[in-house]
Amino acid sequence: MTSVLRFTFFVVCVVCGTVFSLPCLTNKSKQDFNKARNALKSLENYLKSQANSIKYKVQALDKDMTSMEEDFKRRQWIKYNKHCYYIGDDSVRWTDAERKCREIGGYLVKIDDSSENNWIKQQINKSSRRTNFWLGSTDVVNGDWRWIYDQTQLSYKNFASSRPFPTSHSYSNSYNCIGTHYSNGKWYDLPCQNHYLYVCESNFCFQ
């Protein structure tokens, strides 16, 4: 027998001896093994259930988005400068106007410059309703006017003369929401409980 064969035979014997000398699993080891296997099975079932749950939630979200898109298209949204606007036809309080805008996929309008303000004035002039229209600004902290959409301060303003009322004025604490008049596009601070029409804005247009 050559040296290579002898060495190979030796290695095989050592390996076989080691394998055959391994002790059998103890009862505790079997129990631990079964626990681990059951735990993995439970994890597998949990992941499957989570996957199904996520699937149903995604399907529900897709259904809601489709419904929102269809509702959006049914309403008379008007496109301007990559945004869409909706002129509400029911007179409501400022808080209800904001809620209604959110429900249809928008927010109570935020006006960023004079061009946008003039365009909105033109749109509300087409309405047969001669009244104020709610805009999306309020001063939760008296005198600190902010847009409800993103809580930024007003960088552009178009208030009528002597408005808003200064914080020292007796009306200042109760005139906390901004509306614009159909005739001139000027802004007025008004009681939020008053009922007016409203202008919604959306960053997404399905047109």
Specify if 106 maps to a domain: yes
The mean pLDDT value of the chain amounts to 82
Residue 29 has pLDDT above 50, yes or no: yes
Residue 27 has pLDDT above 80, yes or no: no
Show the beta-strand stretches assigned E in the chain. Answer: 78-80, 83-87, 107-108, 132-138, 146-147, 177-181, 187-190, 197-202
Specify if 24 maps to a domain: no
Specify if 16 maps to a domain: no
Q: Which amino acid does the sequence have at 94? A: W
Domain with 165 in it: 77-202
Supply the pLDDT for residue 17.
46
Any idea what the CATH number is for the domain that residue 110 is in?
Answer: 3.10.100.10
Supply the pLDDT for residue 58.
74
Supply the pLDDT for residue 20.
41
Provide the phi-psi class of 40: left if phi over 0, else alpha when psi is between -120 and 50, else beta.
Answer: alpha
Supply the pLDDT for residue 5.
43
Q: What is the pLDDT of residues 94-131, one digit of tens each?
A: 999 999 999 999 999 999 999 999 999 999 988 777 88
Specify if 83 maps to a domain: yes
Number of domains in the chain: 1
Specify if 6 maps to a domain: no
Two structure tokens written together for 115: 């061009």
What is the rounded average pLDDT of the residues 28-50?
79
